[in-house]
A and B are shown apart, each in its own frame.
Chain A
């Protein structure tokens, strides 16, 4: 009989192994350079969050939530943070928050300019889009392999994986937000003599803000999910609590980690949703998608919407 395994002659696994080894051997300085700002940014954020006394953090975060998303979200934030502290995972939660906050900053710095560039240049978008497709269809676990090979294990390599996973939605939403700006308004910009920069800053970006914030919401939630997954490569934070619980078959311990994760995710979701819906005309489709679905199937939803 002709068996499928008879065809198994392509040593792809070995090629990739060799390729990644070659990369890590020859481009070591590059990866160290990539790691450096992330490592320092993360260390700074984590140190700050860990050193601020717990009540002040709660007040500060509630105030920010009030400003960005209104009173009920502020109340929810305060209560949730107190519950997280009461569960005894405050320090781990702050580490996870530092992971997410740093990832968002890096994602914004990379994602928004790439998104703008893609929106204004079809050739760029034609290159970027397939890369995003691959990034978003690749299971999150699979990211961990090259990350471990290239960056090693621990919290900082984990953060690299978080950034790589979380940046595509922001690029996509920025791109689509700018492309969807009313054609007549863009024409009005041209008709009144706007140059390329004025067109971007006076018309395209301001009108794309609601959609970009919708993308930011997606990025935050993706980063949240990934910040838990990277516990598998030794990253600290709430994910580690869950991992330890599972490893020791301590369901209670794992559940505490889980509850804290859910509360943190809900805070971040509500605050970023509030930002999106408060900025002019919100992109309702992006903001309204169910929270649970996004927490567990961020990539799937992403594909449906963009």
Chain B
């Protein structure tokens, strides 16, 4: 993955000429002091972020934290006061009106909290909106709109009016409109906040499903930490116009670094946040026992083939038999389970069966460790875990 969007020392000052506020902020003044001394309101204070292509980057914060301001600076619905926003290395802040329009039409699109659909146009015409602004021929944009409507599951609704649709469906239209322009950066401003909880969860799943194939770079604004954890590849938590914590969801939950962030993480359902990798004990290098490659673990060992794939499990009592030269096939009788290292703890708790070992596999189905119920419980109760090893087994 490569960096798509880079936000570099961005400031946004409301209420007049920004220089006095920015110079004070650079010298370490707080937002409140700037307001007291200059009467200027700080919207964003020195925000720098790096957003990878294909990621869902969550900007999370309470109201007034500057999260929407930040997102709106990216397509310059808000004008930044200082700093750079680099899209593939090109500074968007420096663009003139014409170039900015071009970027908005082709590179960066947006989904709005209250959908912002045109009430006087059909669903299909709404989806065509961005293409119409680009003066694309009606037949072409119609085909595109119908294609995208099928992707978001609204193929049959193209000729309806927006007011005939439910909230969740309307936001699907909003999403379709944003996708129709083929922009690779998507700004989603509290896109699911106006939906009721069940529909919201459904839309979140839908977004994750779409993202697997679309691989857009999504900047997702939310005030809901659970949503940030569920959707985010990375999360930036904002307060008072500053980024107070930035990182991967698990790392933030594991180590909030400040009381402010800890407040959000306290009630988090850890079984849905932590992956199996965070609770596994890494496998040691394979031993050669009786001519077979065996990864030893607490209750026996996993026999593996040349590629590191698990052939079977050998109970601890039988290891010595193997060492003594017994045939391996009958020894691998005991059953075991396997789970992907990227699965959540909630998922692994479903595969535990009394006395059975669980192998943890990487993306290539190679064993990289084992996980025990005790380790999962320890991780859920969440005293900071021991440093995790992510090495692959070498055989």
- A191-B75, A192-B105, A192-B109 known; A202 vs B114 contact (CB < 8 Å): no
- The answer on a CB contact under 8 Å between B133 and A192 is yes
Question: Does A195 belong to the interface (CB within 8 Å)?
Answer: yes
CB contacts (< 8 Å) of B106 on chain A: these are 193
For the complex, what is the distance from the CA of A202 to the CA of B105, rounded to whole Å? 15
Q: Which listed residue, B112, B132, B181, touches A202 by the CB 8 Å rule? A: B132
- Counting CB contacts under 8 A, is B245 at the interface? no
Interface size on A, residues (CB 8 A): 19
User: In the complex, A207→B119 CA distance in Å?
Assistant: 8
What A residues does B75 contact at CB under 8 A? 191
- Over the window 119-141 of chain B, the binary record of Cβ atoms lying under 8 Å from chain A Cβ atoms (1 yes, 0 no) is 11000000001101110000000
Q: Chain A interface mostly helix, strand, loop or mixed?
A: helix
A and B contact pairs by CB, cutoff 8 A, 9 listed: A184-B116, A185-B118, A187-B77, A188-B129, A191-B77, A192-B129, A193-B105, A206-B120, A207-B118
B202 within 8 A of A: no
Closest to B100 in A: A193
> Which residues of chain B are within 8 angstroms of A185 by Cβ–Cβ distance?
116-118
Besides A191-B112, A207-B119, 4 other A-B contacts (C-beta < 8 A) = A191-B75, A192-B129, A192-B181, A280-B119
Residue of A nearest to B161 (CB): A280
Interface membership of A194, Cβ < 8 A = yes
A206 to B117, CA, bound (A): 13
A189 to B130, CA, bound (A): 8
Interface hits, A171-205 → B, CB 8 Å: 182, 184-185, 187-195, 198, 202-203
For B72-108 the 0/1 string (1 means CB < 8 A from A) is 0001010000000000000000000000011111100
Residue on B with the closest CB to A198? B133
Bound CA span A198–B133, Å: 7
- Which A66-111 residues have C-beta < 8 A from chain B? none
Write the residues of chain A forming the contact surface with B, with a CB cutoff of 8 angstroms: 182, 184-185, 187-195, 198, 202-203, 206-207, 280-281
Chain A: minimal CB distance from B145 (Å): 14
B interface with A by C-beta (< 8 Å): 75, 77, 101-106, 109-110, 112-114, 116-120, 129-130, 132-134, 177, 181, 187
Query: Contacts A191-B110, A192-B133, A193-B101 given: A206-B118 contact, CB under 8 Å?
Result: yes
Nearest to A280 among chain B residues (CB) is: B120
Q: Evaluate contact between A190 and B104: CB separation under 8 angstroms.
A: yes
Interface pair B101/A191, CB less than 8 Å apart: no
- Across the two chains, which residue of chain B brings its CB closest to A199? B133
Flag if B118 contacts A203 (CB, 8 Å).
yes
B187 partner residues in chain A, CB cutoff 8 A:
191
Q: A193-B101, A195-B101, A207-B119 are in contact. Are A188 and B133 (CB under 8 A)?
A: no
Q: How many Å from the CB of B97 to the closest CB on chain A? A: 8
- Shortest C-beta distance, B253 to chain A (Å), equals 33
Measured between beta carbons, the chain A residues less than 8 angstroms from B114 are 184
B118 and A192 form a contact (CB under 8 A): no
B135 nearest in chain A by CB position: A198
CB-CB nearest in chain A for B130: A192
Most chain B beta-carbon contacts within 10 A, residue among A191, A198, A203: A191
- Please state if B104 and A191 are interface contacts (CB–CB under 8 Å): yes
Note all chain A residues with C-beta closer than 8 A to B105.
Answer: 192-193
A188 in contact with B101 given A193-B130, A202-B132 (CB within 8 Å): no
Establish whether residues A184 and B113, one from each chain, have CB atoms under 8 Å apart when the complex forms: yes
Report the minimum CB–CB distance from A199 to chain B (whole Å).
9
Please indicate the chain A residues that have their CB under 8 angstroms from the CB of B103 in the complex: 193
Q: Which 3 pairs from chain A and chain B are nearest by CB?
A: A193-B105, A193-B104, A188-B116
- Name the distance in Å between A154's Cβ and chain B's nearest Cβ: 44
Using known A-B contacts A192-B129, A193-B101, A193-B130, determine if residue A187 contacts B119 with beta carbons closer than 8 Å: no
A3 CA to B173 CA in the complex, in Å? Answer: 74
Q: Are B110 and A188 in contact (CB under 8 A)?
A: yes
Measured CA separation A182–B75 after assembly (Å): 19
Instruction: Quote the shortest CB–CB distance from B311 to chain A (angstroms).
Output: 55
Q: How far is the CA of A280 from the CA of B121 in the complex (A)?
A: 10
User: Which residue of A182, A184, A193 contacts B102 across the interface (Cβ within 8 Å)?
Assistant: A193
CB distance from A192 to the nearest CB of B (A): 4
Q: How far is the CB of B117 from chain A (nearest CB, A)?
A: 8
Bound: A24/B77 CA distance, A: 51
For residue A203, which residues in chain B have a CB less than 8 angstroms away from its CB?
Answer: 118
